[in-house]
A and B are shown apart, each in its own frame.
Chain A
Amino acid sequence: MATVTHAEHPPEAHRSSRVDARLLGMYFFIASETMLFGAFFSAYFFARVVASGGEAWPPEGFELPVYLALLNTIILVTSSFTMHWALQSVKRNNRSGLVGGLALTFLLGLTFLLIQAREYTRIGFSPGDNAFASTFFGLTGLHGAHVFVGLNLLLYALVRSVRGHYGPEPEKHLGVELPGIYWHFVDVMWIVVYTTVYVI
């Protein structure tokens, strides 16, 4: 009877890039996200500079809670510090630092999202009112959706870290590194959103 020999696993893929495929995937994802935010910012600036016809921005009667958003900004920037702490901890095999950092990051992110939800309910206008309201809810809502996705990633990493996963070797903490990169991206985007929408 003829025997057929099979390889135990497919051959190692030849990659011309030195970057890990998962990391490369995150780079592409962030690049596409940047373009998505770019589209929303384009709409915002078009409405503000061109379509408003030189009238006041925000239009009369519309007011944004600048200081509440500043508090949210501080919360989100702080969450970047705790995220960084979590990753530095796992690199030093400090498991309590990893779990604590991820838990704090998650809680800070959740607080940000809850404050934003509260802000939406009390802001006094709705997306359909005018271009200002549409672009405001569009930009901040898009960002909020990203925070929500980030929170899911963080929760997943947190559960895994509580269960003893991850280690100090680079290969073993990629599951924390990737959500970390995404979280910092979301943070940077909020800084841009806050400055352009609330401050200037």
Chain B
Amino acid sequence: MRNPFRSEAEAFRFVLVSVALFAAVALAGILGGGWAALGVFLALAVAVAIYVKGEPAVREPAVWERGGGDGRRHILVVANETVAGRALRGEIVHRARGDADVLVVCPALNSPLRHWASDEDRARAEAQARLDESLAALADEGVHARGEVGDADPIQAIDDALRTFGADEIVISTHPPGRSNWLERDVIERARERYGCPIAHVVVDLLHERERAEAVPPVAERRP
């Protein structure tokens, strides 16, 4: 939700909107009495809430220092449930060929209720477990990556990571369209608008990967 007191200009606009809305409420009160005013107030409150909720937060283009001055490429990977996906792992291995510094950020997804109650421990622990699994798999493939649990908002998680990690490119991994909350919230487009560096989008279909893994019997079973 957008803060109506974000700046003086926003606050001033809020004053004008309040004058208009409450003038409508006052007019309804004068013409139709208290209940009419209450009805108009509630209708306007709902309309404003829908408008504010639907308006995406505006963020300015991000500025950060790229590279670490060590001549290596810096790759920032942002992934949540898909962090252990094979497609993402393959993409990281492919991009990290040569000498690259890889940081994997796993946003701690939480339910809205737990978020508002500041009950983040479980979400962070689960994100950490997925991250550890992914880092171990990457290490098996010869990629030495670091990892950290980030903010639940992927854009905020990238912002936070860029403060200490000068990424040259960003890889964002999501579920396929239709199953991805991040795609529904236009995370990829917003990231491309905000960060002036190459951004790769990797789609990981965990369901498909799982089905394929179950269809192929383990090596030991295939032996005669």
Q: Which residues of A contact B (CB under 8 A)?
A: 14, 16, 18, 26-27, 30, 77, 80, 83-84, 87, 176-177, 180-181, 184-185, 187-188, 191-192, 194-195, 199-200
Cα A195 to Cα B19 with chains together (Å)? 10
**Count of B interface residues, CB-CB < 8 Å:** 25
- If A26-B5, A83-B8, A195-B26 touch, whether A188 touches B151 (CB-CB below 8 Å) is no
For residue B145, CB closer than 8 A to chain A, the reply is no
Cα A194 to Cα B25 with chains together (Å)? 11
Cα A184 to Cα B11 with chains together (Å)? 6
Cα A87 to Cα B8 with chains together (Å)? 8
Contact: B29 with A199, CB < 8 Å? Answer: yes
Whole-angstrom distance between the Cβ of B64 and the nearest chain A Cβ:
12
Q: Which residues of A contact B159 (CB under 8 A)?
A: 18
The A interface, classified by DSSP as helix, strand, loop or mixed, is helix
- If A77-B19, A185-B5, A200-B34 touch, whether A195 touches B25 (CB-CB below 8 Å) is yes
The B interface, classified by DSSP as helix, strand, loop or mixed, is helix
Contact: A181 with B8, CB < 8 Å? Answer: yes
Cα A192 to Cα B14 with chains together (Å)? 12
Q: Which of B3, B11, B14, B164 has the most CB of A within 10 A?
A: B11
Q: Which residues of A contact B3 (CB under 8 A)?
A: 27
Contact: A177 with B5, CB < 8 Å? Answer: no
Residue of B nearest to A14 (CB): B163
Contact: A181 with B11, CB < 8 Å? Answer: yes
Q: Mark B151-172, 1 if CB is under 8 A from A, else 0.
A: 1000010011001100000000
